[in-house]
Amino acid sequence: MKIDMENLSDEQTKIRNNIYLKSSIWSGLIVFVISIFVYFYFKNEYPIICYVLSILSFLILFPVVFMVIKTAEFHGVYCKNCNSPFSIALQDVDESLICSVPRQRSRVVGKSISGSNEGLNRVIHESWIEEKYEVLKTYTCICCSNSYIKKSNKTRETNKTSDEYYD
């Protein structure tokens, strides 16, 4: 995939800049966590070098992770139909309910040590409705208007109630 960075429309430039921003934030966060890990890993053995190692790992890993995320994102918005970069935009999301199943669960969370319930288990009873949805996301190319649909599933819990009793 060779990307022509010139001759981008305003909309394509917007999509491209968004990817740059998103990729920088994500790679920054991921590499920051890794460099903190490096710091604590070497902290006891090398009290001073651990700072250097931590900063070095950030500086070395950041461009690598950034490239990986950016490349994956570029692929996601590349239209195979008309070969335009930065052209795929989410146009519509449609969720439809497939099924809803009532669920419940009881669990013992402790024992009463005084009062009228002394010696009894404290039980929490929860019930909810588990709803399964089919999600259809429609993506459209802003250059050639070609659209395609991505299908996925999603589960949501609703009507949650919980009450406590002694048993």
User: What residues line the site for Zn ion (CB under 5 A)?
Assistant: 79, 81-82, 84, 141, 143-144, 146
117: DSSP letter = G
Is 99 in contact with 129 (CB distance < 8 Å)? Answer: no
User: Which CB sits closer to Zn ion, 69 or 79?
Assistant: 79
Q: Which is nearer to Zn ion, 18 or 83 (CB)?
A: 83
The two structure tokens encoding residue 95: 């969720």
Closer residue to Zn ion in complex, CB, 82/97: 82
Identity of the residue, 19 or 31, whose beta carbon is nearer to Zn ion in the bound complex: 19
* Least Cβ distance, residue 91 to Zn ion (angstroms): 13
Instruction: Tell me how far, at minimum, the Cβ of 67 lies from Zn ion, in Å.
Output: 25
* Environment class of 54 (CB within 10 Å of its CB; exposed 0-12, middle 13-18, buried 19+): buried
Record the tokens describing residue 99, joined without a space.
């099924």
Whether the Cβ atoms of residue 109 and residue 71 lie closer than 8 Å to each other: no
Least CB distance from residue 2 to Zn ion, whole Å? 16
CB of 138 to Zn ion, least distance (A): 14
Chain centroid offset of residue 11 CA: 25
